[in-house]
Amino acid sequence: MTSTAPERSTALSELGLDGQNQATIGRLLATGNIGHAEEGADGRMRARIRIVPDQLIWDPSVLVLPHGGHLDIEFVNDDQNTHCALVPSNGDSKWMWLPNYSRGTMSVTLDGPGYYWFSSNIGNDEGRGLIGAIVVRGDVPESARLDRPQQPRP
Amino acid sequence: MTGIQDRTDIEYGEAPPAVDFGSLTTAPGTAPPVVQDVTYERILDARSEPQNWLTYYGAYDGQRYSPLDQINTENVVRITPAWVFSFSPHGLHAGQSTYAFETCPIVVDGVMYVSGWDGWVWALDAKNGQLLWQYKHAIPFDVSLCCGNVNRGVAVANGKVFVCTLNAHVLALDATDGSCIWDVTSGDVRAGESLTVAPLVVKDRVVVGSSGGEFGVRGHLDAYDMETGERVWRCYTIPKPGEPGSETWPAEGEAWARGGGNGWITGTFDPETNLLYWGTGNPAPDFDGEVRPGDNLYTDSVIAVDADTGEIRWHYQCTPHDLWDYDSNMECILFEQDGRKLLAHFDKNGYCFVLDRTNGERVRIFPFVDRITWGEITPDGQVTPRIYPEQEGEEVHFHPGPAGAKEWTHAAYSPRTGLFYVPVQDTGAKVARRRREFKESIPYWGAAVTVDAEDMAGSVSAFDPSTGEEVWRWRNDLPMCASVLATAGDLVFAGTPSGTFVALDARSGEFLWQFNCGSGHHSSPTTYSVDGKQYIAVPVGWGAWVEGFLPGMMGGPHGQAMFVFSLPEGQDSSGGR
């Protein structure tokens, strides 16, 4: 038997796969909340991502952008341990320390569409749960479309 | 925003500012401005500056030959690693199954420019391997890639480094610091389009070919203005209804729009004819020909494209109505014989095609691998298919398999010996037709495929272009899956899937030297010199479409390094064996 989508979070909780040192040593990746970036009048997107105390989880762990572009992320570390943020960006990945009870803003640029991983790449934060996804929606510019009829999508 | 409220019981501190990850290295962040003066004229005459490797094949003619001769048949036994640069796969993207280090290093006046697998570009000091700068384009994890997270190299000119990305962007980077000057979205990543090709600079343009045939995209070449990134022309390799060649596709339906024929390997260029010679990929779906009756032009073809307009001037189709996945993307080596301007193309279907490059006229066809069972091509060009996936679900076995008798990796030609040197794969496959409907960004093969993991062989084989006869063969237990390099030291360098990098005598095939690089070779080695000292550079990193070209080595070590060899200090060219 497998669970249906609405039952998934319940099943993860019952099995102990959504927290630290229950069924497994860490939590399954990106099982946390889903958040949306907001687009400002200046065209930049903004979001806030928090590290929850003693859970090794980004909140949200899935951040959804309406399209590719510039994104300012404020990271907030509410945990009592030091972590960091490594986020892909055109040119080079951006990296910042996140000492206990600190906050800081990072600016990244991502093409759409598709999804990208971000993480805390110290210790084994990644294996324990501090991996998240940035989901970029939208389409490539019209100039980059093939000369073709309408495409049937899966 | 994400609706998260600040906690009132915490007095937050300010986190240290975010930095570029690459700044946390010993890289100074800048390279000497050596590319500033690299012009079209210099690339045209690339062989006159053998200390450099200015363009993908070393020169526009695609010969992969260097006039450097300091390292030669007498002293090659003494070469040792001069430096190693290890890049490491990074994060989740370059996963266990897919990435390979397939690049061809470009070297200009002591600086090496290299691309990696996931949007990485590095500038290195070519003398000691010191990282100078790096650029990383952020690539979505979920891009549709037929054949791995790979990139085959960069092009340089006018102060810029040009590179393609897996999510179908074309970039121009400042060669001195890696900063992005322009970024063009060239293809539709949602439609399965990607870019893996090394760009080719011709005149004031950057020419790139598309990837994605296994997802049923319509292949094309694009030329972009070097300074602005504006598209100058696009050349579709599949004619749409009403265009010349469209009669080779079904008149009804949209097979042409799903037709493949991508130009995912760099072409060659002849300034006298002003033609680009570019190989095109297989038709889509790969193995189910019943949905695309006809010859399916211009798939599996050598096309001659006007460099100024993007118009196809002539074509030669190597495998009409392909049912075996026999892309013809491989190199087109330009050479002359008896005063005639010729082109040689070693195809996946097991035959070498020698054509008159002024008009596409067939000059000679000869086989270059032992086992060819899919069909036969006679010296006068008649193609007779014999074994192919015809009945739904019925398994057939044929040689060469879908990876071909030679994959995308390149042969070389030495004007000193007058011989071609070919990395040969001798591997079969079982294929059963399994029809499926086209859906965007979903693999569109039309078959179930299993490539042989046993009963295989490989070689570097030398051929006389005037007769097509094999002159010598250096046998290897495993198929040869990396480009070869020929030098004026009368050497042929080749990497094996088990990790050894070997040097052979170009005249006899005698095995002279080897070094175990620790991981299989699937790239294009180059040679250059700095301060009068010759170096041999080979990117090493095993992976990509291994299940397609050598499944018996799928579990082999991945690796991820640039190995560079030279004679030891104080060793001159007089050293003997």
pLDDT at A1 over 60: no
Closest CA to B145 of B239, B256, B264: B264
CA separation for the pair B414, B508 (Å, rounded): 13
ipTM for the whole complex = 0.94
Closest CA to B136 of B16, B15, B266, B27: B27
CB B299 within 8 A of CB B282: yes
Please judge whether B3 and A35 are an interchain contact, meaning their C-beta atoms are less than 8 angstroms apart: yes
pLDDT at position A149, please?
86
Catalytic residue among B288, B300, B325, B426: B325
Percent of chain A with pLDDT over 90: 82
pLDDT at position B577, please?
36
* Residue partners of B523: CB distance under 8 A and separation at least 6: B100, B101, B102, B103, B104, B409, B482, B483, B495, B538, B539, B540, B541
pLDDT at A121 over 80: yes
Across the range A99-121, mean pLDDT stands at 96
pLDDT digits (tens, 9 = 90+) for B235-265: 999 999 999 999 999 999 999 999 999 999 9
Instruction: Say how many Å lie between the first and final Cα of chain B, rounded.
Output: 70
pLDDT at position B95, please?
61
Q: Is B325 a catalytic residue?
A: yes
DSSP B139: -
Q: Which two tokens stand for residue A92?
A: 């080079």
Element (H, E) at B41: helix B40-44
CB A71 within 8 A of CB A44: yes
pLDDT digits (tens, 9 = 90+) for A62-74: 999 999 999 999 9
pLDDT at position B573, please?
45
CB B189 within 8 A of CB B141: no
Chain A residues with CB under 8 Å of B218 CB are 146-148
Residue type, B333: I
Asked if B12 is an interface residue toward chain A (Cβ–Cβ < 8 A), one would say yes
CA dihedral B395, B399, B400, B402 (to 10 degrees): 0
CA separation for the pair B572, B404 (Å, rounded): 41
Residue type, B390: E
pLDDT digits (tens, 9 = 90+) for B368-406: 999 999 999 999 999 999 999 999 999 999 999 999 999
Q: What sign has the CA pseudo-torsion A115, A119, A124, A125?
A: negative
pLDDT at position A5, please?
66
pLDDT at A109 over 50: yes
Asked if B1 is an interface residue toward chain A (Cβ–Cβ < 8 A), one would say yes
pLDDT digits (tens, 9 = 90+) for A35-48: 999 999 999 999 99
CB B299 within 8 A of CB B237: yes
Chain B residues with CB under 8 Å of A88 CB are 91, 136, 138-139
CB B434 within 8 A of CB B447: yes
Element (H, E) at B222: strand B220-225
Residue type, B50: P
Q: What is the pTM of this model?
A: 0.96
Chain B residues with CB under 8 Å of A117 CB are 91-93, 141
The region, left, alpha or beta by phi > 0 then psi within -120 to 50, assigned to residue B440 is beta
pLDDT in tens, chain B (577 residues): 455 677 888 899 999 999 999 999 999 999 999 999 999 999 999 999 999 999 999 999 999 999 999 999 999 999 999 999 998 776 666 565 589 999 999 999 999 999 999 899 999 999 999 999 999 999 999 999 988 899 999 999 999 999 999 999 999 999 999 999 999 999 999 999 999 999 999 999 999 999 999 999 999 999 999 999 999 999 999 999 999 999 999 999 999 999 999 999 999 999 999 999 999 999 999 999 999 999 999 999 999 999 999 999 999 999 999 999 999 999 999 999 999 999 999 999 999 999 999 999 999 999 999 999 999 999 999 999 999 999 999 999 999 999 999 999 999 999 999 999 999 999 999 999 999 999 999 999 999 999 999 999 999 999 999 999 999 999 999 999 999 999 999 999 999 999 999 999 999 999 999 999 999 999 999 999 999 999 999 999 999 999 999 999 999 998 899 999 999 987 554 433 3
CB B407 within 8 A of CB B348: yes
Nearest CA in chain B to A98: B15
> Distances from the Cα of A47 to the Cαs of A34, A37, B160, B348, in angstroms?
12, 5, 35, 50
Asked if A98 is an interface residue toward chain B (Cβ–Cβ < 8 A), one would say yes
Asked if A108 is an interface residue toward chain B (Cβ–Cβ < 8 A), one would say yes
Asked if B10 is an interface residue toward chain A (Cβ–Cβ < 8 A), one would say yes
